[in-house]
Amino acid sequence: MVKITLKVKNSLSEPFEAWSCQTGCSNWGIEKIDDLHQPTLFGYFDTREQALESLAQMRRDLPEVPEKYEMEDVCDCDWQNEYKKFLTAWNYRDLSWVPLWMKGQFKAPDGQKVFYFDAGLAFGTGDHPTTRLCAMSMLDYVDACGRDVSGKSLIDAGCGSGILALTAKMYGFGDVYGFDRDEEAVRVSYENAKLNNIPMQGLRFEHAGIERALSGKRADIVLANIISDVLCIYADNLIEAVNPGGRLVLSGILASENKTVMDYFLSRLGHRETSCVPMEMGEWSRIEIQMR
């Protein structure tokens, strides 16, 4: 197995995230420390030929990707475990989300639920601030419903490893639907359901893009943890997927872009009565839109 790395400009981060979402390519990732350091674009492949072919495809789609790169041979086990060092257990209200490999060493506080997750190679580890922001919003919604959501439905747009959709099912949502453009995400989501003994009744994951996935579907709460550009492109689809009186939760949004995205969605909502609440976590943010 080989690892390929490139130093890229800060301005490439968002176009790369959009490209990853649109192509469903899970071999590539980007590591950004802060605005003072150049991000590192990295990818893991079985062979050098596959790495260079994928890099060439990326360059065709993203011409700003530089020509200079470094490539090294790595142990398969290093690749399979590399992402684990970035993940930690975290909690909100009465639920702890715990990486699978911490299962033997994690002790949940008394009275707390525990959700074990393994991201595998799916896009989205489950430990990103945007995932946390969406999960917090969902559990706030559960409390706002008096903790009885058996008659409520939820859509998880861009489900990644299924953490949000499966958490919803743990809390008793009646109908839960998650979808993603990455086939691996769907597989990992079903594996995480088995891992946590979550019954499949009223739960479904699908490999699909936003337009097809949301066509004719509506839910009481819609979670869309994607990126700003994609959220705005499909704003009308996401808005129409929310039942009257429901809630739309948008994340994957840089804090610096929050107002732009919020203003755009409000413009698409027109004169419909809504309340719109932003929230930030570090350099990331979410927007909650409560439909009237």
pLDDT of residue 246: 96
Q: What does the alpha-carbon distance between residue 230 and residue 235 come to, in Å, rounded to a whole number? A: 8
Average of pLDDT values for 220-233? Answer: 94
Q: Comparing 184-188, 197-201, 231-235, which segment has the lowest mean pLDDT?
A: 184-188
Q: What does the alpha-carbon distance between residue 198 and residue 250 come to, in Å, rounded to a whole number? A: 25
Q: What six digits make up the tokens of 136?
A: 């917090």
More confident residue, 87 or 100: 100
pLDDT of residue 86: 54
Residue ranges and CATH numbers for the domains of the chain are 2-83 (3.30.70), 122-291 (3.40.50.150)
pLDDT, tens only, 158-186 = 998 899 999 999 999 999 999 998 888 89
More confident residue, 121 or 200: 200
Q: What six digits make up the tokens of 5?
A: 């790395």
pLDDT of residue 102: 80
pLDDT band for position 121 (cuts 50, 70, 90): very low
Cα separations in angstroms, 55 against 23, 25, 26, 266:
13, 11, 13, 38
pLDDT of residue 70: 94
Average of pLDDT values for 22-43? Answer: 74
Average of pLDDT values for 24-40? Answer: 72
pLDDT, tens only, 245-275 = 999 999 999 899 999 999 999 999 987 878 8
pTM > 0.75: no
CB 213 within 8 A of CB 206: yes
pLDDT of 127 strictly over 70: no
Average of pLDDT values for 14-31? Answer: 76
List CB contacts of 104: < 8 A, sequence separation 6 or more. none
Q: Comparing 129-133, 135-139, 210-214, 233-237, which segment has the lowest mean pLDDT?
A: 129-133
160's torsion region: left (phi>0), alpha (psi -120 to 50) or beta? Answer: left
List CB contacts of 206: < 8 A, sequence separation 6 or more. 177, 178, 179, 186, 213
Q: Comparing 14-28, 129-143, 156-170, 251-265, which segment has the lowest mean pLDDT?
A: 14-28
pLDDT of residue 54: 92
pLDDT of 115 strictly over 70: yes
pLDDT of residue 59: 92
pLDDT of 85 strictly over 70: no
pLDDT of residue 122: 41
pLDDT of residue 14: 76
pLDDT, tens only, 34-43 = 556 788 888 8
First to last CA, the chain: 53
pLDDT of residue 108: 78
pLDDT of residue 248: 97
More confident residue, 101 or 279: 279
